[in-house]
Structures are given as C-alpha cells and as structure tokens.
Amino acid sequence: MSIAKGQDELAENFLENAPTSISLAIPSICYVESLATLEQEDKYNQDFIRRSDIQVNEAARDKTSQNAKLVVNYLKQAKISFLQRTNDTEKRFYIVLNQLLTKAEEISLTTEIIHENLAKNILERHLMDKLIIESIVHHPRLHPNEIKIFLSANSNEFGKREVIEVLRDSGIQYFNKTQNFLGWLQSQSN
C-alpha cells in the first residue's frame, strides 16, 4: 500500500527494476490484506466525499456570506483533486499488484502455517500481521541456502522486539525502509 499511496518511491523503483539475482516472495495473505485495505480506504474516501458534499450544500444555502461562496468553491476544487488523487492511488495499486503477481513467488497460506501461527504468542491483536510473519518464517525452510530479507514499512507491528527476534531466529533480516535495504544490498556487492 505504501507504493500505491506514493509513500515509497524507492520501493516502486526497486520493484520495477529488481535485479534478476534477487528472488521476491510475498505471502498470499498480503494480497488479501492489501485488497481489504484498499476496500476500507474506498469507504473512508466515500465518507469524506459525502461529508464534503454536505458542507458544500450547507454553504451554498448561505446567500449572504462571502466566506460561504469561498467554501463552496474551495470544497468543490478539493473534491476534484481528492478524486484525482484517489484514482492515482488506485491505478498505482493495481500496477504494483500486477508486478508482484508476475515477479514474486507466492508464499501460500497452509494449514501448517496456521497451526504454527496459533502456537506463537506474538502480535496477538494483529492476526493478519501474525499470519504474515508466520508465512515469512516458514518460507526459509523451503529455501534454506538463500539470504532472507523482510521489507515492510509497518514498523509498528513488525519492528517489535519479539517479532524481530522471531525473524532473526529464522535467519531473516528485517528492514522497515527501502533506503536501508538498498544500502545493505549495495554493501553486499562490495
């Protein structure tokens, strides 16, 4: 979502131009979570538009205030810009989704991953994130001879000490910023 929202240009560029020497993998649950997030964002956006339209209608009814006319004009222009930005985000989302579908190996959610997930006492209030971590931890067992990196801007959950320890114990290094990952990657080639 950070790429779709225009918050991580480096990640967008890396995804577009990932070296062939690097294998990308993404838990299937991430696709579900991102689609659910997109749907939730759409609901928030529709609510914002609805509330904005109410304010435009209220201000338009005020025939004596110059400020009311300004409010109408500014909110109408803001609505246009907001909808354009929303469209930009949605376009980027589907571009990124298609890139991941073609470039990344999918880490399927299995019953084994779900059982292991239930046994871990981390991220108890963040079930999707917990499934993501368990999927990522499970993956190195299938590819034991590869260097594993987990890149996610969600440092609120994935940056927690207990999560970092679980990742580290599985041989996975976590980066919360694309810039830090790219710096590390560059240092590996020197």
List the structure tokens of 139: 């993956």
Is there a contact between 32 and 106 (Cβ–Cβ < 8 Å)? no
Residue 127's pLDDT band (cuts 50, 70, 90):
confident
Give the C-alpha separation, 62 to 70, whole Å.
Answer: 11
pLDDT digits (tens, 9 = 90+) for 39-75: 999 999 999 999 999 999 999 999 999 999 999 999 9
The pLDDT tens digits of the residues spanning 7-27 come to 888 888 888 888 888 888 999
Residue 95 — pLDDT band, cuts 50, 70, 90?
Answer: very high
Give the Cα separation of 24 and 107 in Å (integer): 10
- Average pLDDT of 123-129? 79
Q: In Å, how far are 127, 172, 175, 176, 179 from 168, measured between CA atoms?
A: 20, 5, 12, 14, 20
Closest by alpha carbon to 12, among 107, 89, 82? 89
Q: In the numeric block, which tokens belong to residue 175?
A: 């980066």
3-class secondary structure, 180:
helix
Mean pLDDT is lowest, of 30-44, 105-119, 167-181, for 105-119
- H helices within the chain, ranges in order? 9-16, 28-61, 66-103, 111-119, 127-138, 155-158, 161-169, 178-189
Structure tokens at 47: 């609510």
Closest Cα to residue 140, out of 23, 32, 28? 23
DSSP 19: -
